[in-house]
Amino acid sequence: MIRFHREGYKIILIASLIVGIGILLIERFIENNLLNKCLSMSLLIGYLLILQFFRNPRRKTNLNDQHILAPVDGKVVVIEQVEENEYFKDRRIQVSIFMSPVNVHVTRYAMSGTVQYSKYHPGKYLVAWHPKSSEENERTTVVIENETVGKILYRQIAGALAKRIVNYAKPSMQVVQGEDAGFIKFGSRVDLFLPLNAQIKVNLHDKVRGGEQVIATLD
């Protein structure tokens, strides 16, 4: 059975009403059979796209304090050492995952631990692969700490289409690896900032599954 994310309930309900009423109006007022079918099909295709965007499949997470999991579904677009200037203010390994509109957009906790920092930043809506999107776009920054890994930071980043980021992490919360951490509506990218001794287990352009695939380990 297909599950949908709670952030989509209102939009799905509104879309259902629009499609239902739209098809009734088309059947009543459009006499041309071909045009009637084309308009009805267009409404149904749009409705199916909304349903697939808000789907929330169950994931089997194997809890492991030494593993850092992919927080989202998507494609790995960045693996590099960078200076993280918001929280750590030192060098970290950045792993960035880009989500296309057809990916599942649920954000999941990459590891278990305590939320040490959570902050929302208003900003621009540059395309998600733009080099400056991590620092200039609308985004949220969350830091989680546990005894095995220490601290990691993940950043939800809005893109050109994303207009709302949902973040459930609050300071002092105890969170569990693989559980629901939020949602990015109609976008876009998540950046992970990991310790320099992390052993990266993915390559550029790999497609990853949130809540299941191991991004890095700390032995």
Condensed to tens digits (0 to 9), the pLDDT of residues 41-81 reads: 999 999 998 898 889 999 999 999 999 999 999 999 999 99
3-state secondary structure of 12: helix
- 3-state helix/strand/coil string of 190-217: EEEEECCCCEECCCCCCEECCCCCEEEE
User: For the segment 110-144, what is each residue's pLDDT rounded down to a tens digit?
Assistant: 999 999 999 999 876 555 555 555 666 788 999 99
- With CA atoms as reference, report the closest residue to 187 among 142, 126, 131: 126
Please list, residue by residue across 73-100, b when 16 or more beta carbons sit within 10 angstroms of its beta carbon and e when fewer do: bbebbbbeeeebebbeeeebbbbbbbbe
Does position 205 have pLDDT exceeding 90, yes or no?
A: yes
DSSP 155-192: EEE--SS--EEEE---TT-EE-TTSEEEEEET--EEEE
Stretch 99-119: mean pLDDT, rounded? 93
3-state secondary structure of 105: coil
Does position 145 have pLDDT exceeding 80, yes or no?
A: yes
* pTM score of the predicted model: 0.85
Architecture of the domain made up of 67-217: Distorted Sandwich (2.70)
Q: Please tell me the predicted confidence (pLDDT) of residue 158.
A: 82
The active-site residue, picked from 112, 133, 134, 188, is 188
Q: Please tell me the predicted confidence (pLDDT) of residue 49.
A: 87
Stretch 7-16: mean pLDDT, rounded? 93
Q: Parse the chain into domains and list their residue ranges.
A: 6-53, 67-217
Does position 186 have pLDDT exceeding 70, yes or no?
A: no
Q: Please tell me the predicted confidence (pLDDT) of residue 131.
A: 55
Alpha helices in 8-142 (DSSP H): 9-29, 33-53, 133-136
Residue 188 annotated in active site: yes
Contact 68, 110 (CB under 8 A): yes
3-state secondary structure of 47: helix
